[in-house]
Amino acid sequence: MKNMGNIIFIGDTMTRVELITREFFKKNEATSKYFQKIESRKGELFIKFFMDKFLAFILLLLLSPVIVILAVWIKLDSKGPIFYRQERVTRYGRIFRIFKFRTMISDADKVGSLVTVGQDNRITKVGHIIRKYRLDEVPQLFNVLMGDMSFVGVRPEVQKYVNQYTDEMFATLLLPAGITSPASIAYKDEDIVLEEYCSQGYSPDEAYVQKVLPEKMKYNLEYIRNFGIISDFKVMIDTVIKVIK
As a whole number, the mean pLDDT across the chain is: 89
Whether 30 and 110 have beta carbons less than 8 Å apart is answered as no
* Cα–Cα distance for residue pair 230/143, rounded to 1 Å: 22
Rg of the chain taking only CA atoms, in angstroms: 18
Whether 122 and 104 have beta carbons less than 8 Å apart is answered as yes
pTM beyond 0.85, yes or no: yes
Find residue 55's DSSP bridge partners. Answer: none
pLDDT at 10 over 50: no
Rounded to the nearest 5 degrees, what angle is found at the Cα of 137, between the Cα atoms of 154 and 111? 95
Whether 179 and 185 have beta carbons less than 8 Å apart is answered as no
Q: 172: which DSSP letter?
A: G
pLDDT greater at residue 120 or residue 1:
120
pLDDT tens-digit readout, 96-129: 999 999 999 888 877 777 788 777 889 999 999 9
Domain boundaries, the chain: 42-244
What backbone phi and psi angles, to 5 degrees, belong to 111?
-120, 15
Rounded to the nearest 5 degrees, what angle is found at the Cα of 181, between the Cα atoms of 13 and 133? 110
* Chain-centre distance for alpha carbon 23: 24
pLDDT tens-digit readout, 37-87: 999 999 999 999 999 999 999 999 999 999 999 999 999 999 999 999 999
User: Mapping DSSP to helix (H, G, I), strand (E, B) and coil, where does residue 116 land?
Assistant: coil
* Chain-centre distance for alpha carbon 169: 14
* Cα–Cα distance for residue pair 198/208, rounded to 1 Å: 10
* Overall residue count recorded for the chain in this entry: 245
Which pLDDT band holds residue 17 (cuts at 50, 70, 90)?
low
pLDDT at 4 over 80: no
